[in-house]
Amino acid sequence: AQSVTQLDSQVPVFEEAPVELRCNYSSSVSVYLFWYVQYPNQGLQLLLKYLSGSTLVKGINGFEAEFNKSQTSFHLRKPSVHISDTAEYFCAVSDWNNAGNMLTFGGGTRLMVKP
């Protein structure tokens, strides 16, 4: 069985400061990892994904994440945040089979960017 743990439920940060949102996973099969963002009253939008290859993955809006197999982590980072980055961020692991891409989500981290 797969599981995802997002260690921080809320992360307050000042504008233009760097931020790291932590994610740890457990999986017994090949790992496909995702970060999604959810703005208020919206659905989820993909930020980035790790499927294979380079462990440093770059996504939209200046975000990046690093896959660390030994630490079973996939932390999300941004060197300088904006007010507009205020949202809920979800880490997810995929249990992909021929029937589809079933995602197991972490509990989410609310990023609050303050001026």
Partner 1 sequence: ETGVTQTPRHLVMGMTNKKSLKCEQHLGHNAMYWYKQSAKKPLELMFVYSLEERVENNSVPSRFSPECPNSSHLFLHLHTLQPEDSALYLCASSQGDSYNTEAFFGQGTRLTVV
Residues lying near partner 1 in the complex (CB under 8 A): 4, 32, 34, 36, 41-46, 49, 51, 90, 94, 96, 98-108
Smallest gap from residue 41 Cβ to partner 1 (A): 8
Q: Contact 50/33 with Cβ under 8 angstroms?
A: yes
Smallest gap from residue 19 Cβ to partner 1 (A): 21
Q: CB-wise, 15 or 61, nearer to partner 1?
A: 61
Q: CB-wise, 32 or 62, nearer to partner 1?
A: 32
Which token pair is 88?
Answer: 């809920």
Q: CB-wise, 11 or 92, nearer to partner 1?
A: 92
36: Cβ contacts below 8 Å, ≥ 6 apart: 44, 45, 46, 47, 89, 90, 92, 105
Q: Contact 61/76 with Cβ under 8 angstroms?
A: no
